[in-house]
């Protein structure tokens, strides 16, 4: 029996939507069932709603504000249940409860309550194909964008580092291991050592302001025909706003001494001002709900980067949940925090629409 069927989360329609979505597996590439649940939710509130060619869910309305979050989650089977802690706080456990189904559901509810536009996108955890499709389409630029990712209900995220990803490939002639010259594996290791030295940060520099270099996969050895040695390495760089993606690519290419890199993904960093109307609206809404606003910078990359690369409108990222639980085996979201985040979203949207009196 599911959590929904037991009636444990029947305290509000908003919580029912959250539980339904968390109970619906939606790893990247398998978002259809969750997307259809969102369509059903908007249709049930007499809102225009449709899905595009890649599976995004659009519920257009007042485009002064666009609330957007991602439908997909990372893989992982975490039993969905509502647990009451020693402090009496009830939390929903399950994959996506924090990243970012909590934000997605909260934004859907707030969009219905305030009449602003909503967009649920696919593929954020893999290649942001949903967000990329939207900015490459003829969708008009909204007044402001509120991107949904966990920040805690009092947190407002203004910045993300960018991403540069590539594949390093080197080949050398095979030969006896007693020979002194480098083989392809050594070329790869030498290149990466030089890259790490190039981007070695000042120990006092915050992580957000550093270029982080990370190899994610490595394969190397003698080719099948025995005539060469081959090395392949997948690499990623996180790019702070101090640099452009092109800066980092040129610096990494400048360390090559054998081998080549095919760069296949580039997402620019983003850093928004805390003095925009949308940032002010969220600070006011959080204070109005009894919280102390926190301005955040995240060391990862999100769809906000993609939207900011094309749209020249103010943006923030906001959503319930502890981002330390992203992708974690103990991912869970306090239901009281989810409800409070909806309250903040509704208040902020009303301020941005000029409905706050």
- Name the average pLDDT for the chain: 93
Does the pLDDT at position 356 exceed 70?
Answer: no
Provide the number of structural domains found in the chain. Answer: 2
Final residue belonging to a domain, choices 217, 244, 267 = 267
Percent of the chain with pLDDT over 70: 94
Same domain membership, residue 156 and residue 11: yes
Q: What pLDDT sits at residue 86?
A: 78
Does the pLDDT at position 285 exceed 70?
Answer: yes
Does the pLDDT at position 8 exceed 50?
Answer: no
Same domain membership, residue 227 and residue 146: no
Same domain membership, residue 127 and residue 38: yes
Same domain membership, residue 318 and residue 176: no
Same domain membership, residue 218 and residue 124: no
Final residue belonging to a domain, choices 206, 240, 267 = 267
Q: What pLDDT sits at residue 182?
A: 79
Same domain membership, residue 28 and residue 130: yes
The CATH code of the domain that includes 143 is 3.40.630.10
**Least confident among 71-75, 143-147, 199-203, 306-310:** 199-203
Does the pLDDT at position 93 exceed 80?
Answer: yes
Final residue belonging to a domain, choices 214, 247, 267 = 267
User: Angle at Cα 255 formed by Cα 251 and Cα 258, nearest 5°?
Assistant: 140
* Residue pointed to by tokens 């020979």: 179
In this predicted model, what pLDDT tens digit does every residue of 22-64 receive, in sequence order?
999 999 999 999 999 999 999 999 999 999 999 999 999 999 9
Q: How far apart are the C-alpha atoms of 1 and 270, rounded to whole Å?
A: 44
Same domain membership, residue 116 and residue 10: yes
Q: Indicate which residues carry an active-site annotation.
A: 72, 124
Q: How far apart are the C-alpha atoms of 271 and 278, rounded to whole Å?
A: 14
Residue 78 burial (10 A CB sphere; 0-12, 13-18, 19+): middle
Domain encompassing residue 248: 162-267
The CATH code of the domain that includes 224 is 3.30.70.360
Q: How far apart are the C-alpha atoms of 271 and 297, rounded to whole Å?
A: 8
Query: Binning pLDDT at 50, 70 and 90, where does residue 180 land?
Result: low
Same domain membership, residue 170 and residue 146: no
Token pair recorded at residue 343: 């309250």
**How distant, in Å, are the alpha carbons of 26, 35, 83, 85 from that of 38?**
12, 5, 25, 30
Note whether 245 and 164 are within 8 A (CB): yes
């Amino acid at each position: 029996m599911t959590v929904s069927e037991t009636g444990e989360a029947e305290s509000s329609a908003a919580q029912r939507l959250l539980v339904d979505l968390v109970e619906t597996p939606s790893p990247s590439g398998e978002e259809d069932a969750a997307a259809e649940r969102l369509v059903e939710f908007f249709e049930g509130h007499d809102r225009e709603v449709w899905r595009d060619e890649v599976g995004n869910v659009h519920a257009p309305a007042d485009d002064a504000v666009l609330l957007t979050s991602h439908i997909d989650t990372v893989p992982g089977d975490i039993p969905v249940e509502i647990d009451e802690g020693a402090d009496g706080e009830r939390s929903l456990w399950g994959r996506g409860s924090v990243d970012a189904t909590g934000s997605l559901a909260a934004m859907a509810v707030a969009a219905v309550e305030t009449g602003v536009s909503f967009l649920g996108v696919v593929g954020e955890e893999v290649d942001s194909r949903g967000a990329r499709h939207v900015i490459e389409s003829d969708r008009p630029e909204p007044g402001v964008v509120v991107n949904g990712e966990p920040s805690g209900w009092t947190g407002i995220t203004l910045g993300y580092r960018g991403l540069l990803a590539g594949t390093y490939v080197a080949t050398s002639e095979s030969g006896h291991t007693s020979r002194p010259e480098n083989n392809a594996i050594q070329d790869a290791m030498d290149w990466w050592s030089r890259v790490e030295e190039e981007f070695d940060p000042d120990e006092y520099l915050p992580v957000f302001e550093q270029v982080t270099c990370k190899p994610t996969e490595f394969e190397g050895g003698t080719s099948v025909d025995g005539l060469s040695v081959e090395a392949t390495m997948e690499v990623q760089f996180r790019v702070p706003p101090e640099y452009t993606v092109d800066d980092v690519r040129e610096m990494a290419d400048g360390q090559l001494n054998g081998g080549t890199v095919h760069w296949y993904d580039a997402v620019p960093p983003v850093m928004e001002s805390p003095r925009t109307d949308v940032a002010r609206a969220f600070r006011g809404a959080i204070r109005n709900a009894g919280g102390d606003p926190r301005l955040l910078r995240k060391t990862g990359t999100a769809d906000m980067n993609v939207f900011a690369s094309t749209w020249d409108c103010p943006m923030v990222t906001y959503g319930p949940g502890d981002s330390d639980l992203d992708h974690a085996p103990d991912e869970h979201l306090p239901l009281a925090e989810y409800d409070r985040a909806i309250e903040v979203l509704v208040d902020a949207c009303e301020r941005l629409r000029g409905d706050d009196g």
